[in-house]
Each structure stands twice: as C-alpha cells, then as structure tokens.
Structure 1
Amino acid sequence: MKIPFFSWLFLLPICTLFVSFGTFVVSGQCLDNQRDLLIEMKNSFIYNSTLSTKLVSWNESIDCCSWEGVTCSDVGRVVGVNLDSESISGGLHNSSSLFRLQYLQSLSLADNYFSGSMPDSIGNLKRLSSIRLSRCNFSGSIPDSMANLTQLVFLDISSNSFTGPIPSFNMAKNLIWIYLSDNSFTALSLNGNLLEGVLPKSLSNCTYLEVLDIGNNQIQDAFPCYLKNISTLRILILRSNKFYGSVGCGRKNVTWPMLQIVDLASNNFSGKLSLKSFSNSKAMVADNKTQSEFNYLQYQTRVLLFRYDGGGLIDFTTSRYLDAITVTYKDRIPPSLGKLSQLESLDLSSNKLTGEIPIQLADGLIFLSVLNLSFNQLVGRIPFIKQFATFSEASYEGNRGLYGCPLKKECTSAEPRSPPRTFEDIHSKSGLLIDWNYLSAELGFVFGFGLIIGPLMFWKRWRIQYYKHVDDIFFKIFPQLYLLGGKYRRIRANRNGVQRH
C-alpha cells in the first residue's frame, strides 16, 4: 500500500523518537568486540585467583563496562584498564589482545609479577595518555615504539629492571610526569628542553649510566664533580647551559676512569682549565696495540677530531649520526665510514692513507657535501658515483696513484688497455665474425616479406580475399562505413554501365 506524502510527515517525528530512545538505551553499554578482547586478555594472563579481585569477577553475562578495573566511553569503547596488584605473572606478549584496544587512554598494570621485556606493541595504543607500569618486574630495554605515543601525559615505569638508553619522547608534547627511578639505564638524554635549576645529585646513584646528555637547557649549577664516581660514565654533555665556576674537581682522588667525550661549550665556566682533572680518564687515549672502537659518535653532532696512529680500523658500525669528521689516521680508509649515512663533511687530508677508496664510502655517504682526501698515498680508480661524482679535482690531489674522473690522469695500472679492434681485425683470415643481432633482423625481414607481403603483391586472388576480410572487419566495427561503401559501389556500378553503352 502506498503511503501518502502527508502520512510520511506525520510518521517522521514518531520514528525519530523511537530511534532516539533506542540510542539512549544502548549508550554506555560495552561493545561486543571490546568485551571479546577483554576476555581474550584475561584468558591469556596467568594469575592467582585467590589473590585477584578484578579478573576473577569478569563475567561475560555482565556488561563489561561495569567490570571492576574497566572504564568505558559513552559509546561502549574501553578507554581505561586498571589491573594493579592482580598477582599476574608470566610474559606480556606482542600478540596480546590488550594491544588491540585501540581506544585505550589509561593503562595501569603496577605491582604485578611479569617477566621479560615490555612488548613493542605498546606503541600501537596511540591514544594512551597515562601509563603506570611500576614494580612490574620488566627487564631489557624500553621499546622505541613508545616514542609513537604522542598523547602521553603521565609515565611511570619506576622500580623495574630496565637497561639501555631511554627512547626519545620528543613527539609527546604533553608529557608532564615521568618516573624512571630504580632501573638500570645506561643512557639519559634530556637535550633540547627548558630545564632549569640545578642538576640533581641523585644522578650519582645511577651506577650503570654511560651517557649523560643535558645539553641545550637552562641549568644553572657548578661543575658536577659528584658524577666522577660513576665508573661507567663515558659521555658527558653539558653544552649550552648556565654552568659556572671552574672546571674540574681538584687533584684529590680524581676518577672519571671511562670518560671518553666531554662537551662543555657555551657555558659560563671561568678560571684555568687543568687537564689533571681528567688524568684518570685513560679511555680518552687510544691503544695502539688494539683495535679502537668508537661507539658513541652520535653524541658529537658537529665536528669530531680524531688523532689516531694505530694500525687497526676504526669501528663505526654502531654509530648513528655525525655531521662532520676530521681524522688524523694512517693505514687504509676504514670502509665502515660508509655506515655514517648522515655525514656531511669528511676531511682525511694530509695523512698516510694507502690503498683504494672504499666503494662503501661512495655508496653510503649520500649526504656528503665536503670531501678532502688530498695528499695521501691512495691508489686506484676514484668511485665516481652518487655524491663522489660532485667533487672537484682538489678533493683528490696529492695522491699519485689515483686516476679517473675528475682527475685528468687516466689509468696508469700495469695492465695495458687493449686497443680498439679495426675492420681488418674483425674480418681477418682467422674467420668471419658474424653479428647475430643484425643477422636476425635481416632474416626476419626476408621471411616476413616472403610469407605475407609477397603473396599480396603477386597473387591477385590472395589480395582480393585479404581486402574483403579487412573490409568485413571494419564494417562490423564501424557500420556507417558499410553505408558509405554501398553508396560508393552503386556510383561505381553506374559509371561502369554508362561506359559499356
């Protein structure tokens, strides 16, 4: 039965009322997929049911938004999970359904007994603003994926067994609270913030610390002598702050045993600089008898000066970033320099470098804008590719054994180049050299002409049938051509009839 238009106008408010009522009833109830993820997470956990107060109460017959420890949004999405002190043990795996709760904003698993490392999948929960994982027995390094949590405001991962460097949270612009105490971190970088006041003396308790970078802040304090007792400290970056007073801690009980790099630039230090303050820093001196490893080049971001006369190669395989490097070095150029893909300036001039220029340099240093390999003892052809194809002759001068572009000097190796073959050499008495590329084209032309073009030219019946088939194909595709063809045939027939009479 057709409903009149005015009846539709009458029924519209009633339908709207029913839809609104249904929406009101459903609002706030847990969505099925959210409930399934929570149940899957519960089943994957190992926990003591006699000590648990939250997980044991989760029942599928009850709306999951009313479960203890679960918080939902107005539309039934899980936005908060709090399972503190639930006696959960075992590992938390990347495949856990916990990391598929895409709308989760708050996660608290404190005071449990997890084992192993924190999963990388935590970086999938991009809406997280609060994380509380203190006293969870986690170990290993903090996942770099946590840098993806741009909405993070509160982070507490204290009292675990985390080791290694702290990942960069430069994307978390709203991060206000961060608790990292009672761990075993080896690197702490707070570079490029607006930190003020004095440097906390509690840093001396970080006995595993290898790198401390607090550069580019507004810290106003004296030189931190209390850090000298950290036996593992290798890198100390204090540049661009407001440190004042004298540098050093006197000669009494001087330590800094492992210190390799110190950056004190752009501060307010005064007085004389006494190198005796770092007299125990034997790690700054390269051992000529062993291979030297420089694993912290990423913390020297402008110019790094090496004066090294050892016979071994420098190991750059673990280095991540460096703008410019000047090296005083003998022996061969280490191919591992090519690992510094962000390198912009490389000066190896006036050394005693021998051997060829490693192809790894030309292939890996894609941002190199300045190169100076002059006045060494390098030999071989210059790898004229990528950035190395942009440098002038001055970058390679003073190396008698180098040849090739951009040098005017050609190959001078002991093996002479063979002269180009002449026509007489090719067609010599020893036999005729056949170029099959040209011959195949000639044979193809002959066979094609003989099989197709020849019969069309010399066999009339073949030619008439060929034209007829071509016309039929065109008439099927373009019917209007058939009409024009019929008109043309009638005119031609009339003319032929007139000529006969």
Structure 2
Amino acid sequence: MRLWDNDLKGNIPTSFANLTKLSELYLFGNQFTGGDTVLANLTSLSIIDLSLNYFKSSISADLSGLHNLERFSVYNNSFSGPFPLSLLMIPSLVHIDLSQNHFEGPIDFRNTFSLSRLRVLYVGFNNLDGLIPESISKLVNLEYLDVSHNNFGGQVPRSISKVVNLTSVDLSYNKLEGQVPDFVWRSSKLDYVDLSYNSFNCFAKSVEVIDGASLTMLNLGSNSVDGPFPKWICKVKDLYALDLSNNHFNGSIPQCLKYSTYFHTLNLRNNSLSGVLPDLFIKDSQLRSLDVSSNNLVGKLPKSLINCERIEFLNVKGNKIMDTFPFWLGSLPYLKVLMLGSNAFYGPVYNPSAYLGFPSIRIIDISNNNFVGSLPQDYFANWLEMSLVWSGSDIPQFKYMGNVNFSTYDSIDLVYKGVETDFDRIFEGFSAIDFSGNRFSGHIPGSIGLLRELRLLNLSGNAFTGNIPPSLANITNLETLDLSRNNLCEIPISLGKMSFLSNINFSYNHLEGLIPQSTQFATQSCSSFLGNIGLYGFVEICGESHHVPVPTTSKEPEEPLSESEDQLLNWIAAAIAFGPGMFCGFVIGHIFTSYKHKWFIAR
C-alpha cells in the first residue's frame, strides 16, 4: 500500500488491522498522529515506513510477531518513550531508522536475535542516554550505525571492534569521553567515522594502523584531545577528509601528510599547532578546503599551494604568518574564500606588474595585518563572481560551502554587523570583503560599485581619504557597511536608497554635510556617526541634544556619480563584458530582486 506524500490526517484507521496479507505499507509524508498499534496485527509486512508524519505516542505495541519485517522506518516524527526493544527480536529485520524523534532512556541489545541480520541502525537526534552497551557486539552484520545527537556518555565499549562489518559510524554530538576507540584504525572495512562534539581526550599509547585500512573520512573535531599531531594518520593512505579542529593538538604539522594524496578537506582549525605550514601540496593535489586558522603558525605561506588547482577554501586567519600579499594565489581558478586576517602580512596588495586575478573569489578577509598603500580605481574589476547576480535557477544545488557527501562544511569568523561572529556554514552566494585594520590610503576605488552581490564591506581602521564613492549605491543588496576610523569627507545622498543596508558605521572620519534622510540611516545607532563634527541632520537618529544646525548656505544637489567616476565604471563594465564573455556583461547589468537570504548558520 503506497499512500505517501498526501494530506492524510488523524489516526491510522483501525480497519487496517484486517489487512493481514499486506506486505508493504508506505505512509510517509502525511500528517498522521496516531493509530500505530494496528501494526502488530499485520504479520505479513516486510516494509513499514511511517516517516515524516506527526506521531506523538510511544511505540508500545509488541512488534516481535512481525516475522517477515525487513525494514522499519519512522524518522522525523515525535515518537517518545523507550527504545522499542521488540524490534530487536525480529530475525528478518535489516534496517531500523528511528532518527529525529524523542525516544529516551538507555538502549540494550542483550535480547537481540542471536542470528541478527540487522545492517542499518539509525537512532540519531533523539534523547537516548546511558552507555553504549557492550551488547552491541551481537549486531554482527551491522554496517551503518548512527547514534549522533543523543546523550550517550562514558567510553565507547571495546566490544564494538567485534562488529567487523561496520563501514559507517556516527557517534557525534554526545557526551562520550576517554580514549578515542581503536576500531577507527583497526578495521579494513570502515570508511566513515564521525566522533565530533564529544569529550574524547587521548589516543592509545601505541597506534598500529592495519594494512588495507580503508578509512576515507575521519572527524574528531570539537573534542578535548591533546598532545602532538597524530602521525599515524599519514599511514591512512586513502583519507579524503580529516577534521581535527577545536582540540588541543600541539607541535608541528608533520611533513608526512604530503603522501596523503587524496586529501579533499583538511581542517586543523583552533588548536595550538606551531612551526611553519609545510610544503605538503604536490602537483595535481585534490585539495578543496584547507583550514589551519587560530593556531600559532609562523613563517610564510608555502608556495606549493599553487599546486592545489581545485582549492576553493583557504583559511589561515589568526596565526603569526609573516609574508607579503600572495598575488600568486590569484591564478587559482576556483578559489572562493581567502582568509588571511589577524596575521603579520605586510606590504602592498596592488602590484602593477602582477595580475590580481582571483576570478572566483567571493569572500576575502585580510583584516588586522600590516598591508599598506593605495588601491587603483579599477582594483575590484576582475572579481567577477561578486558581480554576478543570481536568479532562482542559478542558485547552486548544494547551498552551503563544503563537502555535502561527508557533511563537512566550511566555516569562518567575520566581523558581522559590528560583532566578531563564528559561523558554522556559509551560503554559496554570500560575498564579503574585509580590509579593516590595515594602513591603506588614498581613495576607495570606485570599482567597488561593480560588486553588486556584495553583502558585507568592512574598510574600517585604515587611512582612506576623499569622498565615499557614490558607486556604493549600486550594491543594492549590501547589508553591512563599516567605513569607520578613516579620513573620509562626505556621504553620498544616494546611499539612502540602499534598502537592505541594516548596519552602518561611519564614525570617526572627517565627514561633513547632510546625513541621508532615509529609513536605513534613521534606524542606526547614534554611535555610527560619532567623531564627525561637520555632519548635520542628526535629529531623527540622536535626538535634539545631538542636533547640529543646518548651515544657511545652499548646497548643490549631489549627483549619483561624478562624470569621471561614471566614465570609469562604464569603461570597467565594458572591459568585463568583453573579457570573460558577453554573459558576464549582461549579468552585471541585471538588477537582482530576490528576497534577503539567511547567509549564515551561526553558532
């Protein structure tokens, strides 16, 4: 019986109890709330799928009489009560999925049928607690185990190593502690292991990786493991994704990682690693994402990064790297995110003899370094990805940056709306520039107005001079704009038309003239304009006490763009159109009218 994805409500009809010859029951994707007790009478069933409904009861019926049942799936409901142990008495059962419910209490496999055929057990996203029982060893044919997002505590039982057919194990988001279980490196079939967000604190004193270890994904992120970087990882030759972030690892990153040629994702963020970032990256490297941020790394960026032609995400923020701006990374065709902030980089970020490149860049953070110099007016002209305007059909299938196959997502720290914020996931369409806390001078390049998809712009804490470029008004989706602590002179009235602009900081400049009288400016904090004695029009923002009288001399209405700036932008737009092709030229001229996205998932 296939009744999935309808609008059926209420209880499963009691008359279903008469369908004693029924072999398959698919009721997923409806709005049923009860009536599951009739299932115990349907002894011919091989498949039961009640997923994606609104069941609220406990599974109190004795299901052990369903001798033909092979698949039982009730994920994404509101079932509560204890784990239904009667399921484990069914010798034919191959697949159990109880995830995303409210089951609670301990779980025990002692009464499991001795010749269990169970291959899949998913109980993630519940309220189960206690220890993972030693009796898990009775599930001898188990291949896929997911107990994530529960409240299991204590140590992982050694008996789990007897479940020799395991290929995928997810124990993340629990309260497990002690030694990292040794089945991780002693299995020839294990492919995927996620132990993140627990309290594991050490490895075994002696780790012997077996020949033929097939591990491709290991996530130990957000635990309390300390000690030197585990060099045994170099012996796992097929490792595709490694996450050791948010632990207490120290010492240097081993050179032997160079021989792990299949690395796609390497995340060592927020540890105490020291020394230099070694030359790990051989020709034809498969690396897509490298995050070594928030460590104590020194030296220079390794030039071997140029071999990572597929890299999309590079984060070295929050170290002590001392180097010049890496113009040579600009040739990497897929690099979307470049995070160099809070290091000791120095010198100019513009070299007339070096092509700036970065054709795919969407997020760049070079804040809090020692970069200097001025930027030419066409500085941002080649950053085409920030110029492209997405329509609904263009939005990527997988909307967050990362590896969806392994559920590993890129994450960054950014000053967002004035607050240092750590974001777990980044929307593919988000664009941001943070050049704050350096010593840039001269005028803000007018070509910034070409970046129509920009959502965050932070140029604060520099020495920019002149007027704020009116071309900023072209970035109609800009949400946060920080130009504070510079030497800027005038606010263009046209900025008042930026309807998405929700956070503005123009404080401590040399601004003069009228503050744009628009909703976006009127809703800002008074502190956004402090330190500009020549500004007026404060009444709606700060009240009468901060009001500066309007000058009696007349003021010419401001043009949206000066003639020279207008010519510059026209010239740059024409160059973009004919350089990468007519498509980009048309897209840049298109006005994007979509809704405001939720760009991040914040911790």
The TM-score normalised by the length of structure 1 is 0.44
| Structure of greater Rg | 1
Q: Comparing both structures, which one devotes a greater share of its residues to strand?
A: 2
Q: Comparing both structures, which one devotes a greater share of its residues to helix?
A: 1
The TM-score normalised by the length of structure 2 is 0.38
